[in-house]
Amino acid sequence: METKRSFDIVVVGAGIFGATAALELNQRGHQVAVLDPGPLPNPLASSTDISKVVRIEYADDEEYARMAERSREGFLQWNEWFGETLYHDVGVIMIRRTPMSPGEYEYENYHSLLRRGFQADRLDSEQIAARFPAFNPDLYVDGYYHGEAGYVESGAVVAALLAKAEQAGVAVIAGQTVTAIKAKSGRAGGVQTAEGGTFTAGHVVIAAGAMTPYLLPELQPYMRSVGMPVFHLKPQDPSLFEVPRLAVFSADVSQSGWYGFPLHPKEGVVKIAHHGRGVPVHPAKDERVVTEHETKQLRQFLAESMPPLADAPIVYTRRCLYCDTLDEHFWIDRHPETEGLIAAAGGSGHAYKFGPLLGGWITDAVEGKSNPELGKFRWRDLPPGTPGEEASRFRDEL
């Protein structure tokens, strides 16, 4: 059925980028619509699932670290705003199979925290075994625990944000799949959808995650869509995985890719996922299936690292889609050639932890306001082979 509507700003995509942008734009006085194929929150979006990590450690990147500190405070404020605890400040464990040394992810994180005035508890193998008994004490010999970190119930937060947006007057419209951006004389004027919708607007924000480089083909040299395996497991002894006997954890993550969460208080599962190269996945055409090889690799990791979870039933899997930029920094900026068109994507597997800041960044880009933090996320030319810079990422094959 044909639909025609007009707004000041149309936001394409209702994940964490789009939901926060729509709210902030509305709060600054703009008439906003956010469009998404739905259902909402969209189960295929990278910002859904039951949990995402919130940490303030970024190795030697002090700029990200400062922004992450502000964002964590924002999640705590969101708990009050939502009227329920969706961010869980349970702490983070970062452990290694070898002693921490300069230049390594855990070492740089630990010393960054100390420089910034945070308390972090250094852990040897005996302390790891005593405090976090799910881990194999013969394997992990060094690391630390830091209390000002945790996880956010990611899908529930997106749902809460969209509900707040609707209450504030944002038109949240599911069932609309944007296929084209309307532009004339070098200016964006709205979008068209596969369902026959025409939405006119003075500005268009493309916050479509892995679909962004397909809506903006000029970004395809700089962005790629890759999928990571995610597993939910049902432990035989849940008490081993409850807080405080477990927190959010990374297990030699930059060398293995594996990280996970304590027992989810509502779902009763332990979520473990891989943060690595991933496999190429077309967001609209390819199946998002976790392979037998990836499951075998998970079982090997658990047998070595977390023996009490080694034989736990896998009750759910998904392939989390990253919209990777080549350098793994976000992409939030005005289009250099089309006025009124803004890209807000490139999460690269670590954007959700900045959820409370994303809406402000995107709105500043829309309004053309000066914001020094946006310099990191500018529209930029990245030559082929540009290396990724997100320090926790595992660079080898799974």
Q: Tens of pLDDT along 54-109?
A: 999 999 999 999 999 999 999 999 999 999 999 999 999 999 999 999 999 999 99
**Average pLDDT of 14-28?**
98
pLDDT in tens, 235-277: 999 999 999 999 999 999 999 999 999 999 999 999 999 999 9
Rounded Cα–Cα distance for residues 237 and 386 (Å): 45
pLDDT at 2: 61
pLDDT at 397: 81
Residues 6+ apart with CB under 8 A from 256: 301, 394
Name the token pair of 377: 């996320």
pLDDT in tens, 157-196: 999 999 999 999 999 999 999 999 999 999 999 999 999 9
- Does the pLDDT at position 1 exceed 90? no
**Average pLDDT value for the chain:** 97
Give the bridge partners for 87, in sequence order.
152
- Does the pLDDT at position 396 exceed 70? yes
**pTM over the 0.85 mark:** yes
Residues 6+ apart with CB under 8 A from 154: 16, 47, 48, 49, 50, 51, 52, 352
Going by C-alpha positions, the residue among 273, 240, 260 that lies closest to residue 92 is 260
pLDDT in tens, 300-341: 999 999 999 999 999 999 999 999 999 999 999 999 999 999
**Average pLDDT of 372-397?**
96
Beta strands 3-12 and 32-36 are parallel
**Average pLDDT of 211-231?**
98
CATH number for domain 3-47+155-223+326-377, candidates 3.20.10.10, 3.30.70.20, 3.50.50.60, 3.40.309.10 = 3.50.50.60
* Confidence class for position 3, pLDDT limits 50, 70, 90: confident
**Average pLDDT of 336-361?**
98
pLDDT in tens, 103-147: 999 999 999 999 999 999 999 999 999 999 999 989 999 999 999
